[in-house]
Chain A
Amino acid sequence: MDYKYIEQLLERYWECQTSLEEEAILRNFFRQEDVPASLLPYRQFFNEQDEMAEEHLDKDFADKMLRLVGEDAPVHVCKARRLTFVRRLRPFYRAAGLIAILLTIGNAAHQSFTDEDEVAPQMADGIVVDSLQQITIGQPEQQSAELTTQPIDTINTLPR
């Protein structure tokens, strides 16, 4: 395996010419088991940088600090509930159901209006026929029957 790139990076590291990303590459390289003998002396140095970054204070220290600043009250934690796929889709079902109900109501309303429109001319015809019958009282039944079947403008033929 060619370690020329790592060797170049290492030289640039000692000369402070490496970026933070290149220094991370070096640290990653030295974390692996197979390091060539020529680079082995540097492995411990880079590996221990990782260990040093893990040094931390005890948890008691955080508690003590929170007490000192008066923030030691327990924090209210919102527990996340696990939702099943079906439960997650429940709002969509509800929305779909609501839309279906609205469509049904709308359709029914539209239907009833349409029916009324269809009935209206019949009612008008009935009214006209009734009126004509009232006007033609005294006329022979046959003539009266003819009048009902004829267009409205035949009214002019009626006796005054």
Chain B
Amino acid sequence: MENVSFRTTVLPLSDKLFRLALRITMNKAEAEDVVQDTLLKVWECREEWEQINNLEAFAIATCRNRALDVVKRAGRNTEKLDEMVHFSSRTPHEQMEAHEQISLINRLMDDLPEVQRTIMLLRDIEGKTYQEIAQMLDISETQVKVYLHRARTKIKGWITNI
């Protein structure tokens, strides 16, 4: 473990972690902080990497827990889109325009419970298998499929009713 490099082993995970942290915290600055903490934590425990089966799964699990902590500490729930992500520095008129431009998937996904949203992100955006998602979230594959099925059923219903 003496020759490992942060640049080549840990840093490439940052965008993936950012997308996950952003979906949970709904705030870009907070998501960045979560990713920074996560990367440092993963790097600091590099002596234990040999005991970790999947470094990416470990990083994603760490990132999710930290993001959930941030949301909990701030006393927010994770169920709704925090408009701070999109509108923080805009005039009311710009906010109206931006609201119309918020992507459909963001609006739909952000209305899902956190676990369903996270599973949908890991499956549909990051392309993870059910087994990998189960490992990352420390739940069974069956539970992953149940949560994903619920999420997709809601999304399908919303799309067909638009």
Chain A residues packing against B (C-beta within 8 Å): 13-16, 20, 23-24, 41-42, 44-45, 48-49, 51-53, 55-57, 61-62, 64-66, 68-69, 71, 75
Chain A residues near B6 (CB-CB < 8 A): 65-66, 69, 71
| Nearest Cβ on chain A to B81's Cβ, whole angstroms | 14
Question: With A23-B124, A44-B104, A62-B11 known to touch, is A52 a contact of B19 (CB < 8 Å)?
Answer: yes
Least distance between B26 CB and chain A CB atoms (Å): 13
**A68 to B19 Cα, complex, angstroms:** 22
Q: Is B14 an interface residue (CB 8 A)?
A: yes
The contact of B153 among A14, A23, A48, by CB within 8 Å, is A14
Q: DSSP class of A's interface residues: helix, strand, loop or mixed?
A: helix
Contacting residues, chain B, for A61 (C-beta < 8 A)? 14, 32, 35-36
Task: Please determine whether B125 and A49 come into contact, CB atoms closer than 8 angstroms.
Answer: yes
Report the bound CA distance from A19 to B11 in whole Å: 29
Cβ contacts A to B, 5 pairs, < 8 Å: A48-B104, A49-B125, A52-B103, A65-B6, A65-B39
Chain B contact residues: over half helix, strand or loop, or mixed?
Answer: helix
A20-B127, A57-B35, A68-B40 known; A51 vs B152 contact (CB < 8 Å): no
B residues 108-162 with Cβ under 8 Å of A? 108, 121, 124-127, 129, 145, 148-149, 152-153, 155-156, 159-160, 162
In the complex, chain A residues whose CB is within 8 Å of the CB of B32? 57, 61
Are B11 and A66 in contact (CB-based, < 8 A)? yes
Say whether B22 faces chain A, with CB atoms less than 8 Å apart.
yes
In angstroms, Cα B127 to Cα A52, docked, is: 12
- Measured in the bound complex, the distance between the Cα atoms of B152 and A24 in whole Å is 16
Knowing A62-B14, A71-B6 are in contact, say whether A45-B159 is a contact too (CB < 8 A): yes
Question: Which residues of the partner chain B approach A14 to less than 8 Å between Cβ atoms?
Answer: 152-153, 156
Cβ-defined contact, A55 with B105, below 8 A: no
